[in-house]
Amino acid sequence: MSDSPVISLHDVSFTYRTQISRKPNFMEAVRNAGRGQRSTKLVHALKNVTFDVAQGEVLGIVGANGAGKSTLMRAIGGIVPPDEGEIRVRGEISALLALGVGFNPQLSGRENVILAGLATGLSREVVEEQYQAIVEFAEIEEFMDMPMRTYSSGMYSRLGFAVATNMNPDILLIDEALSTGDAHFKEKSSQRIKELKDSAGAMVIVSHSMATLKELSNRLLWMHKGEVIATGEPEKIIDAYSKFLKVGNINAVMEDF
């Protein structure tokens, strides 16, 4: 059982339509009916992506903007179902794709933490148990009974980070969420991620910081325009990717890869 991968993607493709102008209103929808999808554009966000993440592994993902990194994370997190292929995930996922999105600014920090825990499907008792750890980690004890609209943006994302990483996830998906708050909290959160690296079943990190990726990940995956270009040793991939960023041509880089 433990030999089988924790995350397994097989031939996953994802396509979506995006509106070129804006959301259609009723009249436009009536006008466009029967004329084909004129106001939409098809985006191939993922093309036949296949890879596994083993137990205890930290997979880093690099790629230029629009490579499909965020879509890939959303697919693994079950936020968007793939159009083709299959994604198998073993365990509870916690996704740090954007911090504190579910928080209601009118409610107090305390209420938001409880609600966030219940929203992931945890029982009240478990959430109450986690509460103290979350507050201590975020270091905003004295603000917990104030509405979150009074929080600074740093406090807001600190609490978001604390909630997401304290729900004992088996699998952690992190999208550029490492740079949170001030220098002190940044240090603390990257420390926390290193701890989770040992306790969590697996981790997938998207980042533009090569230093972070080199430090944390066992393996890197390089994506470009929805396709997996290469996967392997972090140093090797970073070299190839950095070269690509300078040259701007994948084929030229891959020749001597």
Give the residues lining the site for another protein (CB under 8 A): 16-18, 23-26, 29, 74-75, 77-90, 93, 95, 97-98, 101-102, 104, 106-107, 111, 114-115, 118-121, 123-124
Closest to another protein by CB, 17 vs 194, is 17
Residue 45: helix, strand or coil by DSSP? Answer: strand
Whether the CA torsion 253, 58, 95, 12 is positive or negative: it is positive
Give me the amino acid identity at 104: N
CB 175 within 8 A of CB 75: no
Smallest gap, in angstroms, from Cβ of residue 24 to another protein? 8
Length of the chain, in residues? 257
Instruction: Rank residues 29 and 254 by Cβ distance to another protein and give the closer one.
Output: 29
Minimum Å gap between C-beta 76 and another protein is 8
Q: For residues 171 and 8, is the Cβ–Cβ distance under 8 A? A: no
CB of 253 to another protein, least distance (A): 31
Cβ 213 to another protein, closest distance in Å?
A: 22
| Residue 196: CB minimum distance to another protein, A | 18
Residue closer to another protein (CB basis): 80 or 250: 80
Q: For another protein, give the closer residue by CB, 54 or 97.
A: 97
Give the nearest distance from C-beta 116 to another protein in angstroms: 9
Instruction: Report the candidate in 132, 122, 134 with the shortest Cα–Cα distance to residue 161.
Output: 134
Give the contacts of 47 (CB within 8 A, at least 6 positions apart).
Answer: 13, 225, 226, 227
Q: Dmax over Cα atoms in the chain, in whole Å?
A: 59
Nearer to another protein, 123 or 153 (CB): 123
CA atoms in the 13 A half-sphere facing the CB of 46: 26
Shortest separation between residue 16's beta carbon and another protein, angstroms? 4
| Angle separating helix axes 153-165 and 109-119, nearest 10 degrees | 30
Nearer to another protein, 34 or 121 (CB): 121
Identity of the residue, 158 or 237, whose beta carbon is nearer to another protein in the bound complex: 158
Burial of 152 by CB count in 10 Å (0-12 exposed, 13-18 middle, 19+ buried)?
exposed
Phi/psi-derived region of residue 255, left when phi > 0, alpha when psi is between -120 and 50, beta in every other case: alpha
